[in-house]
Amino acid sequence: MLDRLWGLFRGKPALVRGTARLAEGQAKQVEFGDVLAGGKAVLLCRVDGELHALDTRCPHEGGRLIEGPLVEGRLALCPLHNYTFEPKTGRVVRGSCGKATVYRVRERDGDAEVWI
């Protein structure tokens, strides 16, 4: 059912208001739908002034990337085994696993559109 609902929005961005308030080196989680029922949790990260969007699901062993200050001001953290990920590409920097899922994001007029 939820897959059918996502299908309706596929290719269309979801709007996140007020992303201009996300400070440099910070990460904030936003949710699209009920995460426990198949919705998505996305981590918005501000690095070098640019906004990036990562799925919070860690590709290692099922942990979740967390919001708050980014490690060294530029890396998303999964606290389960302290792996870190590059928000722009999803590449693991400290750790050994595949990439985190990244989503296309575009900021406009202080808000953001995220293609989930």
The minimum distance between CB 75 and ligand FES, in angstroms, equals 12
The minimum distance between CB 85 and ligand FES, in angstroms, equals 9
Closest to ligand FES by CB, 20 or 35:
35
The minimum distance between CB 102 and ligand FES, in angstroms, equals 16
> Sign of the C-alpha dihedral, residues 39, 69, 115, 58?
negative
Dmax over CA atoms of the chain, in Å, equals: 41
Closest to ligand FES by CB, 13 or 95:
95
The minimum distance between CB 79 and ligand FES, in angstroms, equals 8
Closest to ligand FES by CB, 58 or 114:
58
SS (H, E, C) 11-56: CCCEEECCHHHCCCCEEEEEEECCHHHCCEEEEEEEECCEEEEEEC
Q: How far apart are CA 11 and CA 115, in angstroms?
A: 7
| Residues engaged in binding ligand FES (CB under 6 A) | 58, 60-63, 78, 80-81, 83, 95
